[in-house]
A and B are shown apart, each in its own frame.
Chain A
Amino acid sequence: MLAEIGIVTLGLAFLAAIYAIIASVYGARIRSERIILTGRNASLITFPLLLLSCTALMAALLTHQYQIAYVWQVSDPSTPTFYRFTALWGSQQGSLLFWCLLMSLFTFFATLINWRRNRPLMPYFIAYCMATLAFFVGLVLFVENPFVRYWLTPDLTANSSVLAYLFIPPNAQAPEALGLAQTARGLNPLLRHFGMIIHPPMLYLGFVGFVIPFAFAMSALASGDLSTNWIKAARRWSLIAWLFLSLGLLLGGRWAYDVLGWGGYWGWDPVENAAFIPWLMGTAFLHSVMIQEKRGMLKVWNMFLVIFTFSAVIFGTFATRSGLVESVHSFAQSGIGIPMFLFWGSITIISVALVLWRWNTGRLSDERGFAGMISRESLFVLNNVVFVALALAIFWGSFGAPILSELVMNTDITLGKSYFNGVTAPLFVALYILMGIAPLSAWGATSARRLGKSMLVPIALTLITLVITFVSGTRDGGALFGYGVVIFAGYVAIYETYRGAVARRKNTGEAFPLAMIAIFGKNRRRYGGFIVHLGITVIGIGVIGSTLFQVETQRTLAVGETLELSGYTLRFDGLDMNQIAEDSRVMDIANLTLLRNGAEIARLRPRHDFFPQATGMNQMNIAGSHSTIENDFYVLLASSANDGSTVTLKVYINPLINLVWWGGIILILGTLISVAPSESVRVKERESVGSRMGAAA
C-alpha cells in the first residue's frame, strides 16, 4: 500500500508540474489571470504531493517493508531507527526523491512570498522552477523509482525468481518477508554517522536553493522586466541557498575528518569540488549583485553568474550521480547520466541564448559609467575574476583535464592535492587581499591616499600580530605571509564594524554597545557580511595552520609501550576486540592514554569498524581525538595483531584545525544576520505591498 501511495503521489506531482509550466506560460502569453492562477496552484500542490511520496518511503523504511527494493538496499533488520531516517537519502533513488521534495519546498515558499511583490515575474518563475522539478520528478518516476518492489513469478525457478517491478506482474506474488529481511543489505557504512543526518539535506538545500535565483533571472529575461526587481527577489534566496551550501560543505568536511580516516577534512575529491564550484560562483554573484543594486552596472555579468551557478549545481549533480567521476560518494551512482547531461546542456544553452538575445536588444546595458579604478566596483569585479578563476581551476582539475586527457590522449590521469594546492593558493591569497581592501573603498571612486589611510590601522594591527606570532615560534616565511594576508582581512572586518559604531555614536550620542546593536539592525547585510568575512578569516588561519604544520607518524606498539610526538606521549593500554554494536558492526577498539609532561590529559579510543553484511566498502577507521584550540591530537587504528598484543597507530597533530569549525560557525552566524531583513527594509516592504494593495483596491 505504501508503494502505491508513493507511486501515485509521485505521478500526480509530475503531472502537476507539467501543467504548471503550460498554464503559466500560456496564461502569461494571453494575459489570462485565471489560467495563471491554476498554474500557480498546480505548482503549489507539488510540495504536499511530494511530501506524501517521501512520507510513504520513510514509512516503508521504518516499518521494514523489504519488498520495496530501495528499503532492501539501504536497511536491514539490525539498522537502528536513527539510521532508517537517514536511509531516505542513503542511495540514488531515495536521495533524488528527497531532492525533489526540497525543490518543491523552496518553490512553494518562494511563490507564496513573491506572488504579490513580483507579480509580472511569477508566471515565468513558476514555469522555470516547475521545468526543473518536472525533470527531476520524471527521473525518479521513470528511471530511478524508489517504489520498485520484488515479485515472485510462478514460472521461474527458486534461484532466479525474484524480479523487481514497479507494478504487479501477472500471477506474481510477494516474496516471503522473512527471506527478504535476512538478505537485506543494510545502509552504506560510510553513511552511518551523525553528520550524515545533516550533511546531505544541507547540501541538497543549498543546491536546490539556487534554482530560485536562476528562475528569477530567467523570468526577468522572459518577461522583459529587466529592472532590479529580479535582483531584489533573488538576492535573499541566493543568500539562503549559499547558507545551506556553506553548512553542507562544512558538515561534509567534518564528516570526512571523522569517518574517512585520513587525518584531513578536504581531499579535493571531485564530488567535494562539485559542491564547492557552485559555492564559489554563488559567492561571486552575492558580491556582484551589489554593484547592480547600487550602481546599475554588470547586468549581463550577473545574469551569466546566476546561470553558471545553477549550471554548476546541475553539473555537480550529474557528475556525482552519473559515474562520470569516481569518488567516495559513488554510492549514489546509476544510469541517469545521459538524461542529466542533456538537461544540463540544454538548460545552460537556452539560458545563455536568452541572455544574449536580451543583450542584443540593448535592454541589459549599464545605467552608469565607471568612476575610477580605485572604487568598490572595480575591486568587486576583481573579486569576481578571482572567484571565477578559482571555480574554473577547480573544474579543470576535477573534470576538465581528466576527461580531456582520456578523450584526446587516451590516458587516465588524476590531479591531486599538489595540483589543487599549487593552483588555488595564489588565487586564495588574491581573494583575501581583496577581501581586506574592498570594504575600505567607496562606491563610485576613492583616492589611493584615502584608501591607504583607511588601511593604516588594520595593517598596523596585522604587523603587531605577526610579530607576536614570530616571537611565539612561527618562523616559516610562507606561513607568516599567509597569516598576514588572512588576518588583515579579518582586522578590516572588525575595524569597519567598530568605525560604523563610532560614527553612529557621534551622530546619535548613543552608548557604544547600543550604537553597535543599532548599526546591525539598520544594515544587517553589511555587518552580517563583515561577520562572514571574520568567519572566513578564522577558517583561513585554521587551514594554514593545519596544512603547513601538520605532523604525522605511524608506529606499531605493544601493550604498555609509548610513542612520543611533539611533546605528547601516547601509551597503548590494550585492545578491545570484536565488540558488536547495535547495527551489527564489529569493532576493534584501542585503549590509549595521552600524556603531556607526564600528566594524563585524555583517554582515546580509536576504532576499526567492520561491517560483515555490507557489500563494497565494508570497513571504516573512526579516529580518537583530543581537541584543543591549539590543535587536535588525532589517532587512527591502522591495524592490529590477531591476538590484540600489538596495534599499528597513525597519529596526526593538526594545529589550529578547530578554527576551521569555529570559523564555519561564525560564517553561518554572519549569514543568518545578513539574511534577516533590516528594519528599514521591512518598513519599506510593508509600505510597498500596502500601497500596491491600496492601488489594486
Chain B
Amino acid sequence: MKIQPLAPKSQPHPLAPSPKIGEGGQTPPSCPSPNSGRGFRGEVRKRTPRWASLLAIVWVCLIAAYPTLAQIAVTADDVNRVAKQLYCPVCPNETLDACQTQACVQWREEIHTQLTEGQTAQQVIDSFARRYGERVLATPQDPALRALSVYTPFILAGIALVIAVLTFTRWQRANTSEPHPPTPSPKGETDTRNDSYRSILERDLRE
C-alpha cells in the first residue's frame, strides 16, 4: 500500500501568501488603505493571509505527521499479503507468510518496515528478489524465465491436443477408406447408433 503525499513539497500552495507581504502573510499595520472595505487589492491583501496562514500551518502539520500516519496504516494483513507472494529463501517451498522460522519472522518485520517507509508491495517484492534471487518469487520476473515457465505447459498441452486430433483424423480416414464390417466386439456387441437407452445400458452393463 502506498500513501501519496498530500501535495508535492516543491510546489508552493496556490493559496500561499505572497512573499512580499511579509512573514506570516500579515499586512504591516502601518499601511492602511484609504479605500478599505471596497474590495481593492490592498484590502484583499489584508484578509487573505489570515486563513491562508492557517492553511499553511495545517499543511505543514500534515507533512510533518505523514510518516506517523503511514506507520499506523500498515497492518499485519498488509504484511501477509506481500509475504504470501514471496517464498522463504531458506525454507523449502514455504511462502513467507506461513513460515515459522526466526529468519522468516525477521523478513516479515522487514516487509513491515519497508511498507511503513512508503514502499509499494511491488517494490518490496523487487527488493527481496534483488537480494535473494528469483527463487523467492512465485513466478520468475526475468522475461525469458517467465515465458519458459508459464507458456511451456500450454505449448505441451497444445501439442498433446494436436496429436489427439491427428489420431482422430487418422482413425476416421482409415475407417472411411477401409469400411469395416460391423465387427462384433469381444462380447458379440453390435453398433448401436439408433437403439434405445435401455439397449445401450444393457450393452454397457455386460462386461
Asked whether B94 lies within 8 Å of A416 as measured between CB atoms, the reply is no
Q: How far, in angstroms, from A594 to B132 measured CA to CA in the complex?
A: 41
Task: Please name all residues of chain B whose beta carbon is closer than 8 Å to the beta carbon of A554 when the two chains form the complex.
Answer: 75-77, 80
Asked whether A389 lies within 8 Å of B76 as measured between CB atoms, the reply is no
Q: B117 in the interface, Cβ–Cβ < 8 Å?
A: no
Q: A378 in the interface, Cβ–Cβ < 8 Å?
A: yes
Task: Please name all residues of chain A whose beta carbon is closer than 8 Å to the beta carbon of B204 when the two chains form the complex.
Answer: 443, 523, 526
**Given contacts A415-B149, A554-B80, are A385 and B160 in contact (CB under 8 A)?**
yes
Task: Please name all residues of chain B whose beta carbon is closer than 8 Å to the beta carbon of A583 when the two chains form the complex.
Answer: none
Asked whether A371 lies within 8 Å of B138 as measured between CB atoms, the reply is no
Give A residues with C-beta under 8 Å from B. 228, 260-263, 267, 269-270, 293-296, 325-328, 330, 366-373, 378, 381-382, 384-386, 388-389, 392-393, 396-397, 400-401, 404-405, 409, 411-419, 422-423, 427, 442-447, 454, 499-500, 503, 506-507, 519, 522-523, 525-526, 552-556, 619-621, 639, 648, 650, 678, 680-681
Interface of B (DSSP majority class): helix
Task: Please name all residues of chain B whose beta carbon is closer than 8 Å to the beta carbon of A500 when the two chains form the complex.
Answer: 201, 205
A414: which of B80, B93, B105 is its contact (CB, 8 Å)? B93
A419: which of B85, B135, B139, B189 is its contact (CB, 8 Å)? B139
CB distance from A114 to the nearest CB of B (A): 18
Task: Please name all residues of chain B whose beta carbon is closer than 8 Å to the beta carbon of A396 when the two chains form the complex.
Answer: 149, 152-153, 156
Asked whether B95 lies within 8 Å of A416 as measured between CB atoms, the reply is yes
Task: Please name all residues of chain A whose beta carbon is closer than 8 Å to the beta carbon of B80 when the two chains form the complex.
Answer: 552, 554, 650
**Given contacts A389-B153, A397-B153, A503-B197, are A381 and B164 in contact (CB under 8 A)?**
yes
Q: How far, in angstroms, from A263 to B98 measured CA to CA in the complex?
A: 9
Map CB proximity to A onto B131-153 as digits: 1 under 8 Å, 0 otherwise: 00111111110101100111011
Asked whether B160 lies within 8 Å of A405 as measured between CB atoms, the reply is no
Asked whether A269 lies within 8 Å of B93 as measured between CB atoms, the reply is yes
* Chain B, range 165-203, C-beta contacts under 8 Å to A: 167-168, 171-172, 174-175, 178, 180, 183, 185-186, 189, 191-193, 197-198, 200-203
Q: B87 in the interface, Cβ–Cβ < 8 Å?
A: yes
Taking A389-B160, A416-B93 as given, write out 15 further A-B residue pairs in contact, using a Cβ cutoff of 8 Å, ordered by the A residue number. Answer: A260-B98, A262-B98, A328-B93, A370-B172, A389-B157, A393-B153, A396-B153, A411-B135, A412-B135, A416-B87, A418-B85, A443-B204, A454-B197, A500-B205, A639-B105
Asked whether A415 lies within 8 Å of B138 as measured between CB atoms, the reply is yes
Asked whether B156 lies within 8 Å of A412 as measured between CB atoms, the reply is no
Task: Please name all residues of chain A whose beta carbon is closer than 8 Å to the beta carbon of B76 when the two chains form the complex.
Answer: 553-556, 648
Q: How far, in angstroms, from A505 to B149 measured CA to CA in the complex?
A: 54
A422: which of B77, B150, B152 is its contact (CB, 8 Å)? B150
Residue of B nearest to A269 (CB): B93
Task: Please name all residues of chain B whose beta carbon is closer than 8 Å to the beta carbon of A392 when the two chains form the complex.
Answer: 153, 156-157, 160
Q: How far, in angstroms, from A555 to B156 measured CA to CA in the complex?
A: 44
Asked whether A373 lies within 8 Å of B98 as measured between CB atoms, the reply is no
Asked whether B150 lies within 8 Å of A412 as measured between CB atoms, the reply is no
Task: Please name all residues of chain B whose beta carbon is closer than 8 Å to the beta carbon of A267 when the two chains form the complex.
Answer: 93-94
Asked whether B153 lies within 8 Å of A409 as measured between CB atoms, the reply is no
Asked whether B145 lies within 8 Å of A442 as measured between CB atoms, the reply is no
A413: which of B135, B157, B206 is its contact (CB, 8 Å)? B135
Q: How far, in angstroms, from A392 to B156 measured CA to CA in the complex?
A: 8
CB distance from A273 to the nearest CB of B (A): 10
- Could you write out 20 A-B pairs with CB less than 8 Å apart? A294-B186, A296-B185, A325-B92, A330-B92, A382-B164, A389-B153, A412-B133, A413-B134, A418-B85, A442-B200, A443-B189, A444-B191, A445-B191, A499-B197, A519-B205, A526-B205, A554-B80, A648-B76, A680-B206, A680-B207
CB distance from A506 to the nearest CB of B (A): 7
Asked whether A371 lies within 8 Å of B175 as measured between CB atoms, the reply is yes
CB distance from B99 to the nearest CB of A (A): 9
Q: B100 in the interface, Cβ–Cβ < 8 Å?
A: yes
Q: B7 in the interface, Cβ–Cβ < 8 Å?
A: no
Asked whether B172 lies within 8 Å of A413 as measured between CB atoms, the reply is no
Task: Please name all residues of chain A whose beta carbon is closer than 8 Å to the beta carbon of B185 when the two chains form the complex.
Answer: 294-296
CB distance from A82 to the nearest CB of B (A): 25
Residue of B nearest to A424 (CB): B153
Q: How far, in angstroms, from A404 to B145 measured CA to CA in the complex?
A: 10
Q: B44 in the interface, Cβ–Cβ < 8 Å?
A: no
Asked whether A416 lies within 8 Å of B138 as measured between CB atoms, the reply is yes
Q: How far, in angstroms, from A330 to B94 measured CA to CA in the complex?
A: 13
Q: B54 in the interface, Cβ–Cβ < 8 Å?
A: no
Q: B154 in the interface, Cβ–Cβ < 8 Å?
A: yes
CB distance from B195 to the nearest CB of A (A): 9
Q: B55 in the interface, Cβ–Cβ < 8 Å?
A: no
Asked whether B164 lies within 8 Å of A389 as measured between CB atoms, the reply is no
Task: Please name all residues of chain A whose beta carbon is closer than 8 Å to the beta carbon of B192 when the two chains form the complex.
Answer: 442-444
Asked whether A447 lies within 8 Å of B93 as measured between CB atoms, the reply is no
Asked whether A507 lies within 8 Å of B205 as measured between CB atoms, the reply is no
Q: B161 in the interface, Cβ–Cβ < 8 Å?
A: yes
The 3 closest A-B pairs by CB, nearest first: A416-B138, A370-B171, A326-B92
* Chain B, range 66-99, C-beta contacts under 8 Å to A: 75-77, 80, 85, 87, 92-95, 97-98
**Given contacts A401-B149, A414-B87, A414-B136, are A525 and B207 in contact (CB under 8 A)?**
yes
**Given contacts A295-B185, A381-B167, A414-B137, are A400 and B197 in contact (CB under 8 A)?**
no
Asked whether A678 lies within 8 Å of B207 as measured between CB atoms, the reply is yes
**Given contacts A369-B171, A370-B168, are A446 and B193 in contact (CB under 8 A)?**
yes
B145: which of A384, A405, A552 is its contact (CB, 8 Å)? A405
CB distance from A518 to the nearest CB of B (A): 10
**Given contacts A267-B93, A388-B160, A415-B138, are A369 and B178 in contact (CB under 8 A)?**
yes
Asked whether B201 lies within 8 Å of A419 as measured between CB atoms, the reply is no
Q: How far, in angstroms, from A388 to B167 measured CA to CA in the complex?
A: 16
Asked whether B138 lies within 8 Å of A619 as measured between CB atoms, the reply is no
**Given contacts A415-B139, A519-B205, are A370 and B149 in contact (CB under 8 A)?**
no
B183: which of A367, A385, A454, A525 is its contact (CB, 8 Å)? A367
Residue of B nearest to A297 (CB): B171
A444: which of B93, B135, B193, B201 is its contact (CB, 8 Å)? B193
CB distance from A606 to the nearest CB of B (A): 13
A423: which of B94, B136, B150 is its contact (CB, 8 Å)? B150
CB distance from A526 to the nearest CB of B (A): 6
CB distance from A270 to the nearest CB of B (A): 6
Task: Please name all residues of chain A whose beta carbon is closer than 8 Å to the beta carbon of B145 when the two chains form the complex.
Answer: 405, 409, 411, 413
B174: which of A262, A295, A370, A678 is its contact (CB, 8 Å)? A370
CB distance from A573 to the nearest CB of B (A): 21
Task: Please name all residues of chain A whose beta carbon is closer than 8 Å to the beta carbon of B167 when the two chains form the complex.
Answer: 381
Asked whether A553 lies within 8 Å of B77 as measured between CB atoms, the reply is yes
CB distance from A33 to the nearest CB of B (A): 30
* Chain B, range 23-62, C-beta contacts under 8 Å to A: none
**Given contacts A414-B135, A417-B138, A523-B204, are A397 and B98 in contact (CB under 8 A)?**
no
Task: Please name all residues of chain A whose beta carbon is closer than 8 Å to the beta carbon of B154 when the two chains form the complex.
Answer: 423
Asked whether A385 lies within 8 Å of B191 as measured between CB atoms, the reply is no
Task: Please name all residues of chain A whose beta carbon is closer than 8 Å to the beta carbon of B138 when the two chains form the complex.
Answer: 414-419
Task: Please name all residues of chain B whose beta carbon is closer than 8 Å to the beta carbon of A401 when the two chains form the complex.
Answer: 148-149, 152
CB distance from A253 to the nearest CB of B (A): 15
**Given contacts A389-B157, A552-B80, are A270 and B139 in contact (CB under 8 A)?**
no
B198: which of A378, A417, A507 is its contact (CB, 8 Å)? A507
CB distance from A622 to the nearest CB of B (A): 12
Task: Please name all residues of chain B whose beta carbon is closer than 8 Å to the beta carbon of A367 when the two chains form the complex.
Answer: 183
Task: Please name all residues of chain B whose beta carbon is closer than 8 Å to the beta carbon of A388 when the two chains form the complex.
Answer: 160
Asked whether A389 lies within 8 Å of B156 as measured between CB atoms, the reply is yes
Asked whether B135 lies within 8 Å of A423 as measured between CB atoms, the reply is no
CB distance from A291 to the nearest CB of B (A): 12
Residue of A nearest to B142 (CB): A411
Residue of A nearest to B191 (CB): A444
Asked whether B133 lies within 8 Å of A371 as measured between CB atoms, the reply is no
Asked whether B93 lies within 8 Å of A326 as measured between CB atoms, the reply is yes
Task: Please name all residues of chain A whose beta carbon is closer than 8 Å to the beta carbon of B105 when the two chains form the complex.
Answer: 639
